[in-house]
Amino acid sequence: MSLGQWLKSLSTTDHIVLLFLYGSCIYLSKITLQSFIEFYNNKKKYSEFRIKLRITPIVLLSLGLFYSILVYQIVDAMFGFMP
């Protein structure tokens, strides 16, 4: 079964749960990246010659995907009913 067929076979509740899961993982990745930037700025003591880091969409979504896979693995190990 391809990804498109699998998405079409899901119910509305399944779509809402997946969107909520991925949205919360993206928010968690945003918090993580902001923490790393703040840590870097503190380490460099806010020098004017430090590299100015920013959060790009590809990094945000990639880290969100990593977190969603991690959350899926944890839920699967805890409950065992995940397909």
Question: What is d(CA 72, CA 66) in angstroms, rounded to the nearest whole number?
Answer: 10
The predicted structure's pLDDT at residue 83: 64
How far, in Å, CA of 25 to CA of 73, rounded?
Answer: 13
Backbone CA torsion sign across 20, 60, 33, 76: positive
C-alpha to C-alpha distance for 83 and 81, rounded to whole angstroms: 6
For residue 18, the model assigns a pLDDT of 87
- Residue 82: predicted pLDDT: 63
Question: Mean pLDDT of successive 10-residue segments in the chain (83 residues)?
Answer: 84 89 94 95 89 91 94 85 65
Give the tokens for residue 68.
């969603």
